[in-house]
């Protein structure tokens, strides 16, 4: 359903006002700033993402890059506690490697100047190898760049080991794309077991680790692991989606943990939302509460 073109068009045309301030920020970054400020005032950090991927136009890819640069500048000017997340397909990954690199260099130059972290999101498995390869290339020249590993992919444990020499900021997720059993664990227990393994290895490698989950089991596992390994709360953070598990976010902040809220914005919210629901059935209940809150 996330890829249904008709439903995406309807959602873009009629639904963005309904979900703004509930499961996404606003229609654009300027309209999203008040939501970020409110989260910051509550002790929550954020990462923002201009929704939209699989761009096949050079002009649109350049527009997305300029939008990202403008967002970085506003984060600095407004003194927001926020990172920026982006997808390489929105910047030209599927069009031209040279185009993508040019766009990313422009973005990372601004991020370095403004001291704003850029997280390269992981997309589907067909783009995983190239994403990691490019991340390594960017990491050699920039400090304000991070990326994501997905626990449902078989390769992620080895990728984590390979990336550890770069001492990166890593976001660990379960994964939200429909993948072949040739490349990904199909069983939830196997995904969960691998997720725990990635969390443990990342912390043991001394990496700053973002555990992106709403799963109480994973959160409790991370807290217990950190205690047992004598790992400081400054070495990791929890990340959650905007509009979901708000009470838990507040409790974790009160307990001294850093929590970063993923705040997407823009008109292309439908595909993002459907993948979040498919990722974990419990997200349906969280999303319903978010959509119906006043």
Can you give the pLDDT at residue 105? Answer: 98
Nearest to 198 by CA among 212, 180, 181: 212
CA–CA dist 209, 207 (Å, integer)? 6
φ, ψ for residue 252, nearest 5 deg: -65, -40
Residue 269, pLDDT > 70, answer no
CA–CA dist 208, 199 (Å, integer)? 11
Report the pLDDT averaged over residues 114-124: 97
For residue 165, give its domain range: 5-292
CA–CA dist 191, 198 (Å, integer)? 10
φ, ψ for residue 48, nearest 5 deg: -110, 150
Can you give the pLDDT at residue 284? Answer: 44
Least confident of 52-56, 132-136, 180-184: 52-56
Task: Tokens 């490698």: give the residue.
Answer: 205
Can you give the pLDDT at residue 250? Answer: 97
Nearest to 108 by CA among 81, 147, 159: 147
Give catalytic residue positions. 121, 171
Residue 25, pLDDT > 70, answer yes
Name the residue with higher pLDDT: 294 or 55. 55
Least confident of 1-10, 29-38, 249-258: 1-10
pLDDT by residue (tens digit) across 204-215? Answer: 999 999 999 999
What angle, rounded to 10 degrees, do the helices at 58-77 and 97-114 form?
Answer: 10
CA–CA dist 19, 57 (Å, integer)? 27
Task: Tokens 């912390």: give the residue.
Answer: 203
Name the residue with higher pLDDT: 23 or 136. 136
Mean pLDDT of all residues belonging to the chain:
89
Report the pLDDT averaged over residues 146-164: 98
Nearest to 150 by CA among 118, 183, 117, 182: 183
Please, are residues 84 and 32 in contact by the beta-carbon 8 Å criterion?
no
Can you give the pLDDT at residue 83? Answer: 98
Query: 112: how many CB neighbours lie within 10 A of its CB?
Result: 16
pLDDT band at 66 (very low <50, low <70, confident <90, very high): very high
Q: What is the share, in percent, of the chain residues with pLDDT greater than 90? A: 78
Can you give the pLDDT at residue 23? Answer: 84
CA–CA dist 62, 217 (Å, integer)? 41
pLDDT band at 270 (very low <50, low <70, confident <90, very high): low
User: Any idea what the CATH number is for the domain that residue 116 is in?
Assistant: 3.20.20.220
The CA-to-CA distance between both ends of the chain, in Å, stands at 27
Query: 111: how many CB neighbours lie within 10 A of its CB?
Result: 24
pLDDT by residue (tens digit) across 74-113? Answer: 999 999 999 999 999 999 999 999 999 999 999 999 999 9
Q: Which residues are bridge partners to 237 per DSSP?
A: 210
Report the pLDDT averaged over residues 231-250: 96
Query: 71: how many CB neighbours lie within 10 A of its CB?
Result: 26
Q: From the centroid of its chain, how far is CA 102?
A: 22
pLDDT band at 275 (very low <50, low <70, confident <90, very high): low
pLDDT band at 291 (very low <50, low <70, confident <90, very high): very low
CA–CA dist 85, 262 (Å, integer)? 9
Burial class of 5 by CB neighbour count within 10 A (0 to 12, 13 to 18, 19+): exposed
CA–CA dist 24, 276 (Å, integer)? 12
Report the pLDDT averaged over residues 244-273: 89
Can you give the pLDDT at residue 152? Answer: 97
Domain count, the chain: 1
φ, ψ for residue 86, nearest 5 deg: -145, 160
Residue 8, pLDDT > 50, answer no
What predicted TM-score, i.e. pTM, was given to this entire model? 0.88
Which ranges in 208-256 belong to alpha helices (H)? 216-228, 246-254
């Amino acid at each position: 359903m996330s890829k249904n073109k008709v439903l995406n068009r309807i959602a873009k045309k009629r639904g963005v006002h309904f979900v703004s301030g509930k499961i996404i920020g606003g229609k654009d970054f300027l309209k999203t700033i008040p939501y970020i400020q409110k989260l910051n005032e509550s002790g929550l950090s954020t990462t923002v993402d201009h929704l939209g991927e699989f761009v096949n136009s050079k002009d649109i890819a350049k527009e997305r890059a300029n939008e990202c640069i403008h967002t970085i500048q506003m984060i600095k000017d407004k003194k927001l506690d926020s990172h920026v997340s982006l997808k390489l397909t929105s910047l030209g990954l599927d069009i031209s490697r040279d185009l993508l690199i040019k766009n990313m260099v422009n973005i990372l130059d601004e991020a370095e100047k403004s001291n704003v972290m850029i997280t390269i999101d992981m997309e589907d498995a067909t783009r995983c190898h190239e994403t990691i390869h490019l991340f390594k290339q960017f990491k050699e020249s920039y400090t304000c760049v991070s990326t994501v590993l997905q626990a449902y992919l078989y390769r992620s444990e080895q990728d984590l080991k390979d990336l550890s020499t770069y001492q990166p900021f890593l976001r660990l997720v379960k994964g939200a794309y429909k993948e072949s059993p040739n490349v990904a664990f199909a069983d939830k227990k196997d995904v969960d077991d691998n997720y725990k393994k990635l969390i443990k290895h990342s912390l043991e490698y001394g990496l700053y680790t973002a555990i992106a989950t709403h799963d109480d089991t994973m959160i409790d596992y991370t807290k217990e692991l950190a205690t047992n390994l004598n790992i400081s709360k400054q070495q990791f953070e929890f990340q959650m989606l905007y509009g979901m598990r708000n009470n838990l976010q507040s409790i974790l902040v009160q307990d001294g943990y850093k929590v970063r809220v993923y705040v997407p914005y823009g008109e292309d919210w439908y595909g993002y939302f459907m993948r979040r629901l498919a990722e974990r059935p419990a997200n349906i209940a969280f999303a319903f509460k978010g959509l119906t809150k006043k």
